[in-house]
Amino acid sequence: MSNTFDVIVIGAGAVGSAAAYFAARSGQHVLLLEQFEIDHQNGSSYGASRIIRYAYDHPVYVELAKSTFPLWAALEAESGETLYTQTGGIDFGRVDQPTLRGMIDSLAACNIPHEVLEPDEAHQRFPQFRFDDDMKVLYQGDAGVLRASLCVRTHVRLAQQHGAVVRDQSPVTRIEIKSDSVEIQAGGEIFSAAALIVVPGPWGIFASIGLDLPLTPVKTHEAYFDSQPAERYDTTSFPIFIAHTLENYGFMPYGLPGVDGSGLKVGLHGGPPIADMNAVDRTPSPDVIEKAQTFIKRHIPGGSAPLKYARVCLYTMTPDEHFIIDRHPAHDHVAISASCSGHAFKFSNIIGQILTDLVCNGTTQHDIGLFSLSRFDQLQSV
């Protein structure tokens, strides 16, 4: 096999697997390099479920979501897999909460159907929940659940069907960017390509391509509860939710219905920074589980249940929590993304497509100004 490709993608998380799929589907000869096994548990993309929603407090994300829903549907049609289940979604909090107010305004500005409910009305619609009297409840019907691990595996499988070569257990140890190509060392081999897409999640290999990015890996959790009866808390009757009650728990609580028997999932958006990626403490923190249980007791009282399962998962945060999606400032044939900040899974398909367009066509039809590298003063390139 030749070690020369059109496009090399580094990192087979949600975004890298999507980029490999879109590049291969567009006819490029693609190599996807992953340091661990495909669908490993060490990064950000593994697990039963992720939220997909239009509700965002910035119209740019709402507009992106208009593309991401159809792309997941197209992937389902091509693969025969069920990746998305519609559940509807609620956001609740006091209406003066800027994030909740911003979501209502953005949905209206982008013509996405939604309702703002009073607590009593919302309780009648979603009897599993108890809302405070001074809360408003935003309902958006298209929100739902993506089967996270299955999405990653499906993008990888279809990328291979479109001709991509996938090398797992192949950590990239050297990247050399030349004027019109790249040379990569991984797993003891040298590969070259006309273009490179770098999506390494919390593993900071950006320094090796001359980029000093303000990224902070943080330790967060996925906690699943054995709430009964299961059908009251699964995708048949329970919406995804975000509670705009940051002040009560330190981080914003969110949750998803049980998917394929996973149990009700409740998490807190965020966590403490990780000082050393080579020494991540992957033991779930009892404190976080306790906070999730306190939240459930107050707002989903019938769903209080023993913990079924918890695991540590990583976010890669930017200072403003907006993604990075851009071309390398010194090399047009290199595109990068640090798209996490805890909310990129739903967009991973469109980000993968944008990255492919950036390195293969030099442009994208999507508005990615918000995600540019130039917003960081401390950026240094070589």
Ligand X SMILES: Cc1cc2nc3c(=O)[nH]c(=O)nc-3n(C[C@H](O)[C@H](O)[C@H](O)COP(=O)(O)OP(=O)(O)OC[C@H]3O[C@@H](n4cnc5c(N)ncnc54)[C@H](O)[C@@H]3O)c2cc1C
Residues in contact with ligand X by CB under 6 A are: 10-16, 33-36, 43-45, 50-51, 171-172, 199-203, 205, 220, 222, 267, 313-315, 339-340, 342-346
DSSP sequence for 336-362 = EEE--TT--GGGHHHHHHHHHHHHHHS
Q: Which is nearer to ligand X, 7 or 14 (CB)?
A: 14
Q: Which is nearer to ligand X, 225 or 315 (CB)?
A: 315
Candidates 211, 221, 349, 371; CA nearest to 295 is 221
DSSP sequence for 270-313 = --PBPS-GGG---SPPHHHHHHHHHHHHHHSGGG---EEEEEEE
Q: Which is nearer to ligand X, 62 or 314 (CB)?
A: 314
Residue for token pair 């070569």: 165
Q: Which is nearer to ligand X, 34 or 357 (CB)?
A: 34
Rounded to the nearest whole angstrom, what is the least distance from the CB of residue 170 to ligand X in the complex? Answer: 6
Rounded to the nearest whole angstrom, what is the least distance from the CB of residue 227 to ligand X in the complex? Answer: 18
Rounded to the nearest whole angstrom, what is the least distance from the CB of residue 118 to ligand X in the complex? Answer: 27
Rounded to the nearest whole angstrom, what is the least distance from the CB of residue 49 to ligand X in the complex? Answer: 7
Peptide bond into 229 cis (omega under 30): yes
Q: Which is nearer to ligand X, 35 or 227 (CB)?
A: 35
Q: Which helix (H) or strand (E) holds 94?
A: strand 89-94
Residue 77 burial by CB count (10 A; 0-12/13-18/19+): exposed, middle or buried?
exposed
First to last CA, the chain: 33
Rounded to the nearest whole angstrom, what is the least distance from the CB of residue 277 to ligand X in the complex? Answer: 9
